[in-house]
Amino acid sequence: MKVLIAGSTDDVEDIMSSILLEEGYDCVFVKDSKEVIDNIYVEQPDVIILDILLSNPSSLEILSQLKSAPSTRGIPVILIASKRSRLKLVKGYELGAYDYISRPFFKQEILSRIKNITFACDRIKELEKLLDRDYLTGLYNRRFFMERFLEEIAWSVRYKEPLSLMMLDIDFFKRINDTYGHGCGDEILKQISSALLSVLRAEDIVARYGGEEFIILLPNTSAEGAITAAEKLRATVQNRTFVCKDSNNGDMRLSVTISIGVTIYNGETELSPDRLIGQADGALYSAKESGRNRVVV
């Protein structure tokens, strides 16, 4: 665990280092307040201890800059403050500082405060993960997808970049459940999810949209790229043998196919996410109607 300590005086560095290093924390010290922000970007600490007496820029200016940037907003900040700086401390809390440490330093107090804060922040990270992910497949969920989709549409309009969207649905999935049981169906959903991730790029956003329906956003991807990717997904699933357990715990090997509807957005005419999803859904419907196991644009 890494703690970045930004302090104006020698006692901060001396005492903090003896306390924190002894407890096994990885410590980074910054004395010049002009270098604090840059160091935070480079070091990516888990906790920041910021002396309220820093000036030019002041500790409060540093704090407000940290809290306004998405990449540093979540890092907890503990202020070092004395009784005389209570008003500043209140401003610090308003800006998003989590806690404070007072002088003279007291080892147990510092360690307890750091422990409490990191515990709370870890819980927040875990909860955020639960909020964004689908429990069964580990893919992004629909809520997270819609959030990202809006951002990507705005980006597409601004930079005149194309954006592609796919709706994907497993063919005759009800039959798999009916024949091999729900547990097997769940297993297939997981295996299809990892097959999708193995084919797509890291920038693509793959989400479970509903029961056995997936939605995929391909940023900065035009028709040609989207059709190639969709065809690759379709072929990958068709060529793969899926394995699940039957009711007697025996290995069942089965083939599965998927249908995909694709739509491309050029960023020129303003379109709502619902319209785009409607278009991809329409293409998916055509793929089903025209025989399944195919890609329709």
Residue 111, φ and ψ in degrees, nearest 5: -65, -40
Rounded least distance, CB 231 to Mg ion, Å? 19
3-state secondary structure of 97: coil
Rg of the chain on CA atoms, in Å? 26
**Residue 12 to residue 104: CA distance in whole angstroms:** 10
Q: Which is nearer to ligand GH3, 242 or 265 (CB)?
A: 242
Rounded least distance, CB 137 to ligand GH3, Å? 9
Q: Which is nearer to ligand GH3, 19 or 139 (CB)?
A: 139
Nearest residue to 134 (alpha-carbon basis) of 210, 218, 243: 210
Identify residues 129-168 at the interface with ligand GH3 (CB under 6 A): 136
Contact partner at residue 292 from Mg ion, ligand GH3, none, CB < 5 to 8 Å by partner kind? ligand GH3
Interface stretch with ligand GH3, choices 87-95, 121-129, 139-147, 171-179 (CB under 6 A): 171-179
Q: Which is nearer to Mg ion, 36 or 215 (CB)?
A: 215
| 212 near ligand GH3 (CB under 6 A) | yes
Contact partner at residue 134 from Mg ion, ligand GH3, none, CB < 5 to 8 Å by partner kind? none
For residues 86 to 105, the per-residue mask of contacts with ligand GH3, x marking binding by CB under 6 A and - elsewhere, is --------------------
What residues act catalytically? Answer: 212
Q: Which is nearer to ligand GH3, 76 or 185 (CB)?
A: 185
Query: In angstroms, what CA-CA distances link 137 with 11, 40, 207?
Result: 51, 34, 9
Q: Which one among 186, 190, 266, 282 touches ligand GH3, defined by CB under 6 A?
A: 186
Residues 6+ apart with CB under 8 A from 288: 169, 171, 259
Q: Which is nearer to Mg ion, 37 or 258 (CB)?
A: 258
Contact partner at residue 182 from ligand GH3, Mg ion, none, CB < 5 to 8 Å by partner kind? ligand GH3
Q: Using CB under 5 A as the criterion, which residues of the chain lie in contact with Mg ion when the complex forms?
A: 169-170, 173, 213
**Residue 241 to residue 187: CA distance in whole angstroms:** 13
| 51 near ligand GH3 (CB under 6 A) | no
**Residue 240 to residue 217: CA distance in whole angstroms:** 23
**Residue 5 to residue 59: CA distance in whole angstroms:** 12
59 neighbors 52 (Cβ within 8 angstroms)? yes
| 247 near ligand GH3 (CB under 6 A) | no
Please report which helix (H) or strand (E) contains residue 263, including its range.
strand 258-265
DSSP codes joined into one string, 12-45: HHHHHHHHHHHTT-EEEEE--GGGHHHHHHHH--
Interface with ligand GH3 by CB under 6 A: which residues? 136, 169-174, 177, 182, 185-186, 189, 211-212, 288, 292
